[in-house]
């Protein structure tokens, strides 16, 4: 796709001015192209998922060794859409271990549904996901996705976000970064990114528009 090099270069310059780290996780067919376009910039590239299997015949799966060989450095695992499709905590953990073995840093997603939040189970649900999804060692990041606030018209308040991030920090200790991933946009990014224990954002739809993505990056400063 023509023009990607210029777009990525422009985005890299704008994020550098903001003093933040920027990661793009495109669909798998675009990983190689984006890795090439980001070469020489501060932008890193990751995958949206990977498999947990060793090398072999696993048709339709994405080998983390391949992502790493293409130049990716991160991979998103256990995204809410993957979990909704039936992905279990155990499979997320197995993928995380395999990703680490392939020199990829996992971003492990956790979050609760509307029913779980309304019944007062949000913190226990997320804590259990952490216990069962995280690898036992190695580097990884965590992304909190309040499923009930994504595409539903409901909004997580600053208090909601801060409380859950505090609970996650208590559960995992000081090591991992904790990202927030619930409809982050230019209009709310500054407030969210400056809350306690929020170490970044997992941006969804707003990342599809270069200018809005750059505005979110600038809001981290």
The yes-or-no answer on residue 194 being catalytic is: no
Query: Interior CA angle at 212 toward 207 and 215, to 5°?
Result: 115
Residue whose pair of structure tokens reads 């400063």 in the numeric block: 221
How far is it, in rounded angstroms, from Cα 138 to Cα 7? Answer: 33
Candidate list 52, 79, 112, 165, residue with the active-site label = 79
Considering the candidates 52, 112, 145, 165, report the single residue annotated as catalytic.
Answer: 145
Record the tokens describing residue 86, joined without a space: 């039936």
Nearest Cα neighbor of 135 from 104, 108, 97 is: 97
Phi/psi-derived region of residue 171, left when phi > 0, alpha when psi is between -120 and 50, beta in every other case:
alpha
Contacts of 132 (CB under 8 A, 6+ apart): 89, 90, 93
145 is catalytic: yes
Active site members: 79, 145
């Amino acid at each position: 796709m023509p023009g990607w090099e210029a777009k990525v270069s422009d985005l890299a310059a704008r994020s550098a001015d903001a003093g933040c780290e920027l990661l793009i996780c495109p669909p798998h067919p675009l990983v190689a192209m984006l890795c090439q376009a980001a070469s020489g910039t501060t932008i890193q590239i990751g995958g949206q998922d990977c498999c947990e299997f060793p090398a072999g015949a696993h048709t339709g799966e994405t080998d983390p060794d391949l992502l790493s060989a293409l130049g990716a450095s991160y991979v998103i695992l256990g995204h809410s859409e993957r979990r909704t499709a039936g992905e279990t905590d155990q499979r997320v953990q197995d993928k995380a271990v395999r990703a680490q073995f392939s020199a990829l840093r996992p971003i492990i997603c956790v979050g609760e549904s509307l029913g779980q939040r309304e019944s007062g189970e949000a913190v226990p649900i997320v804590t259990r996901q952490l216990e069962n999804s995280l690898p036992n060692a190695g580097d990884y990041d965590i992304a909190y996705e309040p499923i009930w606030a994504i595409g539903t018209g409901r909004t997580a308040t600053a208090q909601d976000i801060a409380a859950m991030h505090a609970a996650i920090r208590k559960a995992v200790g000081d090591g991992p970064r904790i990202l927030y991933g619930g409809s982050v946009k230019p209009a709310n990014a500054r407030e969210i990114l400056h809350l306690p224990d929020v170490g970044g954002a997992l941006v969804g739809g707003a990342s599809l528009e270069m200018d809005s993505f750059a505005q979110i990056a600038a809001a981290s400063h």
